[in-house]
Structure 1
Amino acid sequence: MSLQQTIEDTVRGLGLELVETERSAGGLLRVTIDLPWQPGTQEQAVTVEDCERVTRQLQYVLEVEGVDYKRLEVSSPGIDRPLRHELDFERFQGEEVDITLKAPIGAAVAAGAAGPEGAKMSANRKKFRGTLQRAEPSGWQIVWSDEVAAKPGQRVSARRAPPPMHVMAFTLDELQGARLAPVVDFKGRRRPAPDDQEKVSGKG
């Protein structure tokens, strides 16, 4: 059994979800967990107690499996949470996301996603940021504009035409990776910054 599968089974056995596993320099094994989510349920946050439970159980399991590591860190997701499963995409509909395709979009898709005013898009483009939406019947799409943010103090004319919107559909099989865009909304609610994460570390 792979290390990824061992960790995933252990986390799931404690009633939690494995979001990401990462090995870093110096022997650090970083494990990111979250609470399972189902449509129609209220969002809940991982607690310090959750991280402590997972840390204790993983320390035992990794010792039994003979996994070589120097330090274990268990934490909740940050503002750039990865999206791995279909349920993740359902959960974060309407959020701004960063996606990376396995292959460039190609000339035909670039022309189709160029927007109503013909804004050019590179056929070699693989990375996109936009608002995640459901694309019927079973796919997904992101919507974005290439509007340049105004500089501090810069006056923006009320008569200026809005920038064209772009739409690009995709399937999960076409993705190399997807994450929530690390955007903080200072005017209202925001996803927790890295310093806000629940995090527990332990030695192997």
Structure 2
Amino acid sequence: MDKRIAQLVSPVIEGMGFDVVRVRLMGGKTAVLQIMAERPEGGIEVEECAKISRAVSALLDVEDPISGEYNLEVSSPGIDRPLTRMKDFERYDGYAVKVETAELIDGRRRFKGVLEGVEGSEILIAIPEGTIGLDFEMIADAKLVLTDELIAESLAARKAQGFEPEELDGFDEIKSDTSDEDEETT
């Protein structure tokens, strides 16, 4: 269903100048259709999400691919974003990732390590046992791990786009609180 909806909404979103990062229909009391999008160079603003939401909503009203009620959620991929396309794995070479495969590989499905690039159709990941190659088609889920390096890069990118750091008053305190919690639970 996710793939079908993605094929339906992608041309509209791409026609507006954005890339579709992920489309996921999640169940629950009321289903949620989550669409993650960004500009080709990265990032997206709240107003842009609202424009995409209005355009996609109109299309979904006409095509009606989802039976029953659902909420539409259009958002950015966030800092600890999902990696869904080959170009995501290329772009975040050198960053910490968590990857889950569709099938067992040497008795396991979950891998945590550092991206070491892409070779053909394989994603290279440095794990404690060494560097492994995972075929892109076998990856069921992958995302960046939230690290200080990733946060610093994200803040630098926002600043380069004209975002004022003082809008993040209290960020250091939040980060410190989170770091303390992590130390207590590990």
TM-score normalised to the size of structure 1?
A: 0.63
Write out per-residue CA displacement over residues 63-106 of structure 1, whole angstroms, 9 at most, x where no aligned residue. Answer: 11124444211110123322222111111111111111232223
The gaps in structure 2 that reach 5 residues or longer are 156-167, 169-186
Q: Which has the higher contact order (CA 8 A, sep 6+)?
A: 1
User: Matched residues in 2 for 1:50 and 1:2: separation?
Assistant: 23
TM-score normalised to the size of structure 2?
A: 0.68
| Counterpart selection for 1:7 from 9, 12, 20 | 9
Q: Between Structure 1 and Structure 2, how many residues are aligned? A: 150
Instruction: Report SS of the residue matched to 2:74.
Output: strand
Match of 1:174 in 2: 138
Quote the RMSD (CA, aligned, Å).
2.7
- 1:78/1:191 contact within 8 Å kept: no
User: Matched residues in 1 for 2:31 and 2:105: separation?
Assistant: 38
The runs of 4+ residues in structure 1 deviating greater than 6 Å are: none
Bigger Cα Rg: 1
Instruction: Report SS of the residue matched to 1:61.
Output: helix
> Within the alignment, does 1:27 sit opposite 2:31 as a pair?
yes
> Within the alignment, does 1:91 sit opposite 2:91 as a pair?
yes
Identity of aligned residues (%): 28
User: Matched residues in 2 for 1:103 and 1:172: separation?
Assistant: 12
Query: Comparing both structures, which one devotes a greater share of its residues to helix?
Result: 2
* Change beyond 3 A, Cα 1:57–1:128: same
* Change beyond 3 A, Cα 1:184–1:15: same
Output the amino acid matched with 1:168: I
| Counterpart selection for 1:63 from 48, 58, 61 | 61
The gaps in structure 1 that reach 5 residues or longer are 38-43, 107-123, 146-164, 197-204
User: Matched residues in 1 for 2:137 and 2:8: separation?
Assistant: 24
* Change beyond 3 A, Cα 1:170–1:2: closer
* Change beyond 3 A, Cα 1:7–1:187: closer
